[in-house]
Structure 1
Amino acid sequence: MSMIAVIPTRMELTRLKKKLSTARRGHKLLKDKRDELMKRFLDTVREVKTLRVEVEAELMQVHGSFAVASALMSSQSLEQALAYPKQSVALTMTYQNVMSVNVPVYDFQTKTQSESDIYPYGFATTSGELDTAVEAMGRVFSKMLKLAQIEKSAQLMAEEIEKTRRRVNALEYVVIPDTQETIRYIAMKLDENDRSTTTRLMKVKDMLLKQAIEEQQARTAAMLEKAAAKQG
């Protein structure tokens, strides 16, 4: 804990008291923000965990179907079947504000609405396992996109939590204590100045009183001398 370098004046004391009040309000708001972000972050992490398990399980099924299809078809036939896709996907990204964090929201649109366009080949020369693999891949795509979205959201929230934590700690352990210590120092110095001023005023008063008494005594003595001279 250290003091802020200031001149100990009443104006500076008022300014620091306002600064301390603002710092305390900011500290409370940042703590509330950090706690709410932590809650949402933990909810997002649980969602990521659940969705990742689902996506990995479905991708394993897709991989298994492709493995069977590659065993039933020649590699050249498999490559030719998948070489010229009929369907394409356009990805769009918007943002949603979550506790001052702009998290991404992913969406996609297919080139055509026909579900059959996911098969870029004729069914006569291909294996049914390839159809199963392509269909499963189409189903898991939206979940993969959702997983990417919430993983990115979790990453951004974690970064914001760390920034907020540092700000909270800076206010709690540096700004507020240093400001309080400086306020105490200025108040002490002002009290000392007030006591010194009071002491000086009392001394001046005593000096003036002594001087007045001496002047009165001198006037009285002069009057007595004058009266004695007239009698003589």
Structure 2
Amino acid sequence: MARLNVNPTRMVLSNLKKQLRTAVRGHKLMKDKRDELMKRFLELARENKRLREEVEAQLMEVYGSFSIASAVMTPQMMEEALMYPKQSVSLAVGSKNIMSVDVPVFDFETSETEAGNIFPYGFANTSGELDTAIEKLSEIFPRLLQLAAMEKEASMLSDEIEKTRRRVNALEYVKIPQYEETIRYITMKLDEDERGNQTRLMKVKDLMLKEAIEERQEQDRESRAEYDRAHACQ
């Protein structure tokens, strides 16, 4: 792993150690977030699968009723019966936060509250299967909205899991190893400089001690010479 291109100083070393601690803490938080997102995604996927199977089974019944109605009624009669819907739906889109992800929440309100007002035609010239199909569609509509919200939530959680996974991998395999390698290099460089300084100090100390010894020996020789001259004069 290539180290960072920085000056090997104690200030840089201190800053890198702080950044490493932050990166390690951030890695743990991001990893916990990824695990929690995965847990919620799997729970959502199971619930989504169950709801989808129920909705698909109900839609098959609706398609079957429509097929029978289409066989009994003429295309013109079918088109006239469904041309002007009697009931309208207003859809409201909200949101909820899941692990910093804003997922949509759908809510709806119908213009007619009575169940009998969902049929936009009279019953004289239509088939009972068409009534059954429209009634089942009215019943399944809330589940369709719930399924759509769950599908979107699963998609958004999947994208967030992928982003979080990339960040975790970037911290684990790039940033943290770079910090560690750089800290190791700077520490070795500073230790090497410290050993070099110690060696130079020891050499300077030896030179100073040698000079002091030579100076002392010179003083001793001069004192001895003066002593010898003084005795010679006597």
**Shorter-chain TM-score tier:** over 0.9
Corresponding residue of 2:118? 118
Q: 2:112, 2:118 within 8 Å by CA — same for their partners in 1?
A: no
Corresponding residue of 2:178? 178
Post-superposition offset of 1:202: 0.5
Q: 1:6-155 residue pairs with structure 2 within 5 A?
A: 6-155=6-155
Partners in 2 of 1:112 and 1:58 — Cα distance? Answer: 23
TM-score, normalisation: structure 2? 0.96
SS at 1:17's partner residue?
A: helix
Partners in 1 of 2:175 and 2:42 — Cα distance? Answer: 30
Partners in 2 of 1:36 and 1:227 — Cα distance? Answer: 95
Partners in 2 of 1:59 and 1:134 — Cα distance? Answer: 11
Corresponding residue of 2:217? 217
Post-superposition offset of 1:114: 2.2
Corresponding residue of 2:227? 227
Corresponding residue of 1:195? 195
CA offsets per residue over residues 151-187 of structure 1, 9 Å max, x none?
1111111111111111111111111111111111111
Moved more, 165-174 or 119-128: 119-128
SS at 1:105's partner residue?
A: strand
Partners in 1 of 2:151 and 2:187 — Cα distance? Answer: 52
Post-superposition offset of 1:148: 0.7
Post-superposition offset of 1:74: 1.5
SS at 1:179's partner residue?
A: helix
Partners in 1 of 2:85 and 2:94 — Cα distance? Answer: 27
Letter in 1 for 2:42: L
RMSD of Structure 2 on Structure 1 (CA): 1.1
Letter in 2 for 1:65: S
TM-score, normalisation: structure 1? 0.97
Show structure 2 runs of 5+ residues with no match.
Answer: none
Partners in 2 of 1:154 and 1:38 — Cα distance? Answer: 10
Post-superposition offset of 1:77: 1.2
Show structure 1 runs of 5+ residues with no match.
Answer: none
Letter in 1 for 2:81: A
Identity %: 59
Post-superposition offset of 1:211: 0.7
- What is the aligned length? 232
CA offsets per residue over residues 178-225 of structure 1, 9 Å max, x none?
111111111111111111111100110011111111111111212222
Partners in 1 of 2:59 and 2:173 — Cα distance? Answer: 49
SS at 2:122's partner residue?
A: coil
Post-superposition offset of 1:231: 2.8
Letter in 1 for 2:214: E
CA offsets per residue over residues 33-91 of structure 1, 9 Å max, x none?
11111111011111111111111111111111111111221111111111111111111
Partners in 1 of 2:83 and 2:158 — Cα distance? Answer: 41
Post-superposition offset of 1:125: 2.1
